[in-house]
Each structure stands twice: as structure tokens, then as C-alpha cells.
Amino acid sequence: MPGATLAIAAVSALVFCFPVLNSWLLYNRNLLLHGQIWRAWTGHIVHFSSSHLIWNLVIFLAAGCWLEYIRPRSARWFYLACPPIISACLLVGEPDLERYAGLSGVATGVLVFLAFVQLSENNAEPTWFWVAVSGLVMVKIALETVTGAPLLVHDFAGFRVVPLAHISGSVCGLVAWAITRPAPAPTEASS
């Protein structure tokens, strides 16, 4: 049961339904630097528009449920570690970014993590599919970096895309895969 994935998605939807919570949960650089550390996690469950929420949930739920089904413990640790790492990258790499919201960085990381797990451990899956998924993630990040606009979200007035969140989420996914992959089976020496 992908309980953690479903819980994060449900909380994100609930927070969206009660916008008054945004001011307490949103990634806010100044407040984060003044001790409101929880925003390093909670800023990722806040969304600026319905399209922003829906697209993030589509990717997050599909990849997250799958990953949590095949690697429950790794997925749950990823959900704890990835948001503050993304937030730290934003603090350092985007010093002019005052506010940030959304699961997109985490969702990107989960998708990359899942793709590499499938590529390295699941011989029943077609390799081309997961290579294509990884390639599409890179193309999406590149297009958003060049255009400065989100590729999928259509109602983005008032906020900008932050490719660093997607890049740092992807790196988190790669690192999580690298440190959690099973050790290779010992090979028998031939005589």
C-alpha cells in the first residue's frame, strides 16, 4: 500500500482547498532563514493554481505509488530527505527567489528514481521506455530553462518556473537510486 505517497497527495489537495494555510506552509526564503525550518518540507505541498496542483499530482501519484510499491522503505526515506535538499539548493542557487511552492521537484525526483530502479533491476520492462522517460525529463527541464515558462501548467500567471527545483529533485532521485540499489549478486569463479 503506497500510504506515504497517498498521504502526501491528500495533504497537498487539502492545503489547496484551504488557501489560508499557504502563508504558514509556503517556502518563504526570509522566514526560512529566520528559523521556520518546517517550510523546507511544507513548501512542496503548497500549490499556486489548480493546474499546478493537478499536473504535480498526476506525476507524483503515478511514479510515487509505483516506487513505493516496489521500494517502500526507500520511497519513504526519499520523501523525508528530498524536500529539504531541494529547498537548500533553492536557498543557495536562487538567492532572489522569495517564494516557492509545488511538488514538481519532488515528483521529478521520484520519477527519475523509479526510472533508474526499473532500468537496473527490472528486466521484464522494456529498456527503451525508461530511457525515454529519463530523456523526456531532461527535455522538459531544458525547455523550461530556455523559455522560462512551465511546459504543462497553463495558469501560471504570478509565478515562474524554477528549473533548479527539478534539477535538484532529479539529482536526489539519482543519488537515492545509487545508495539504495541492491548489491550485485556474487559471481561464481570458473575453474
Residue pLDDT, tens place only, 150-176: 766 666 656 778 999 999 999 999 999
Residue 127 maps to which CATH number?
A: 1.20.1540.10
What is the pLDDT at residue 157? 59
Best mean pLDDT range from 73-77, 123-127, 132-136, 180-184: 73-77
pLDDT at 155: 63
Q: What percent of the chain has pLDDT over 90?
A: 73
In a domain, 187, yes or no: no
Q: Which domain holds residue 9?
A: 3-180
190 assigned to some structural domain: no
Is 125 a domain residue? yes
Per-residue confidence (pLDDT) for residue 24, from 0 to 100: 95
Residues 6+ apart with CB under 8 A from 126: none
Give which of 49, 54, 78, 95 is closest to 172, Cα–Cα. 78
Residue range 47-86, pLDDT digits in tens: 988 888 999 999 999 999 999 999 999 999 999 999 999 9
- Contact in structure between 109 and 170 (CB atoms under 8 Å): yes
For residues 96-113, give the mean pLDDT.
96
Within-domain flag for 148 = yes
Q: Compute the average pLDDT of residues 13-29.
A: 94
In a domain, 188, yes or no: no
Whether the pTM exceeds 0.85: the reply is yes
Check residue 49 and give its pLDDT: 87
Q: Is 99 within 8 Å of 27 (Cβ atoms)? A: yes
pLDDT for position 51 = 87
- Closest alpha carbon to 181 in 130, 133, 114, 131: 114
Task: Report whether pLDDT(179) > 80.
Answer: yes
- Highest-confidence segment of 5-9, 132-136, 187-191: 5-9
- 191 belongs to a structural domain: no
Percentage with pLDDT > 70 across the chain: 92
Give the cell for residue 109.
525526483
> Strand 99-100 vs strand 27-28: parallel, antiparallel, or unpaired?
antiparallel
Number of compact structural domains in the chain: 1
- Predicted local distance difference test score (pLDDT) of residue 158: 66
pLDDT confidence bin for 1, thresholds 50/70/90: confident
